[in-house]
Amino acid sequence: TGVHYPSDVLVGASLGVAAGFVVRRLARDAQEARVVPGDERTAAGAPALPDGAGLTVVVNNGSGTAAEGLDVLRTRLPAAEVIECEGPELPATLAKAASRATVLGICGGDGTVNAAATAALEAGVPLAVFPGGTLNHFAMDLGLAGAEATCEAVAQGQAVRVGVGRFSPGPGGESGYFLNNFSIGAYPELLGHRLRWAPRIGGGPAAVLAAWRVLRSQRPVRLRLAGRPRSVWLLFAGNGTYHGTGPTPRRRDSLGEGLLDLRLVHGGGRPGPRLLAAAFTGPLSRSPVHVATRLRSLRIGDIPAGTPLAYDGEYAEAPAALVLDQLPDALTVYRPR
């Protein structure tokens, strides 16, 4: 209104502080609830490395909390080889490390862990994940609370086998993998805008501006799913079933399920109301705007040129056609019992 009495400022500040404490408490409780091991199958024969000899750990210095995990690693597993790198050199460094290591370790966030999982799959070696990112969705859902838990599992040879999502563009194309989720539609558009603007204005403002841009100008994506034409605001495929609706953080109870969690938000109307309605209808329910099911594979065709896709927080341009599937028990990952 343009009027700023001291009481207005005081009451507004009090409301803001109270809301901050409530959100922080909810976020902390939700995060603690996520760190619970699932029923993934035990991996037989995972090597025990009491002092870390045979373990090569690649550390992404650009990740949010990598330095904390690195300190724990050097104390608990002093014989482990540690390689620090950042940016474009990461994939090549991981491939080289995986080719000579008994166990490949990675310290970073979800995008970094995705790159390490790809290298471990191609080399056929187990993976040790030392959470070092801002969110660490994969580590949380696997039951890894931090670097201490991973060090314990590596020292004792305790590991499980987890499923890995894959998207394949067809003959001659190079497949990609996802440990968390894959999407086409509103989220990749939002991610692309945020990545482009964040270096100039910061991550938070970039996310807000990207959301405004997507909700204002996004159009449904027309493609063909399992041979049938569809118009969607969002196609989401999770590596395992996600649970939780509304403001509750989504989580997975198991990474050994062997199924994709597929969700579609149908085209039509405006993206904002459709996406909000889908968020509150539940993970495996049906509604006029939202369909969710579980399956092993899905063929996607007639993808318009220039359509972006996202996987584990990474951003790329989608090919004209691709197949989504799940590779059960494909990756051995260390986790304490």
Q: Which residues contact 182 (CB under 8 A, 6 or more apart)?
A: 165, 167, 236, 237, 309, 310, 311, 324
Report the pLDDT averaged over residues 27-34: 52
Rg of the Cα atoms in the chain: 21
Q: Which residue, among 164, 65, 68, has the nearest Cα to 116 in the 3D structure? A: 164
Q: Mean pLDDT in the chain?
A: 84
Report the pLDDT averaged over residues 167-173: 82
Place of tokens 């807000």: 208
pLDDT digits 0-9 by tens, 78-110? 999 999 887 788 999 999 999 999 999 999 889
* Assigned domain for 227 exists: yes
How many angstroms separate the CA atoms of 248 and 23, rounded? 11
Q: Which residue intervals of 124-270 are DSSP H helices?
A: 137-142, 147-156, 186-201, 203-217
Q: Which of 10-14, 122-126, 266-270 has the highest mean pLDDT?
A: 122-126
How many angstroms separate the CA atoms of 297 and 81, rounded? 38
* Assigned domain for 121 exists: no
User: What tokens does 88 get?
Assistant: 């474009």
pLDDT digits 0-9 by tens, 266-323? 887 666 666 666 665 555 455 667 788 899 999 999 999 999 999 998 889 999 999 9
pLDDT higher at 69 or 191 = 191
Percent helix, strand, coil in the chain, to 5, is 35, 30, 35
* Assigned domain for 129 exists: no
Is the CB of residue 106 less than 8 Å from the CB of residue 116? yes
How many angstroms separate the CA atoms of 4 and 256, rounded? 56
* Assigned domain for 28 exists: no
CATH number of the domain at 246, please: 2.60.200.40
Torsion angle defined by CA atoms of residues 296, 302, 307 and 308, in that order, rounded to the nearest 10 degrees = 20
Is the CB of residue 283 less than 8 Å from the CB of residue 242? yes
Q: Which residues pair with 106 in a beta bridge?
A: 58, 129
Q: Which of 3-7, 51-55, 186-190, 206-210 has the highest mean pLDDT?
A: 51-55
User: pLDDT band at residue 260, thresholds of 50, 70 and 90?
Assistant: very high
- Lowest model confidence (mean pLDDT) among 30-39, 153-162, 163-172: 30-39
Report the pLDDT averaged over residues 113-125: 96
* Assigned domain for 311 exists: yes
* Assigned domain for 61 exists: no
Q: In total, how many domains does the chain have?
A: 1
DSSP notation for 41-57: EE-TTPPP-TT-TTEEE
* Assigned domain for 197 exists: yes
Report the pLDDT averaged over residues 3-28: 76
pTM above threshold 0.85: no
Residue 228 belongs to domain spanning? 176-329
* Assigned domain for 150 exists: no
Q: Which residue, among 186, 183, 182, 184, has the nearest Cα to 271 in the 3D structure? A: 186
User: pLDDT band at residue 168, thresholds of 50, 70 and 90?
Assistant: very high
Q: What is the pLDDT, as a whole number, of residue 307? A: 93
159 has pLDDT over 80: yes
144 has pLDDT over 50: yes
247 has pLDDT over 50: no
- Lowest model confidence (mean pLDDT) among 59-68, 125-134, 298-307: 59-68
How many angstroms separate the CA atoms of 143 and 129, rounded? 11
Q: What is the pLDDT, as a whole number, of residue 13? A: 85
Q: What is the CB-side half-sphere exposure of residue 188 using CA atoms within 13 A? A: 25
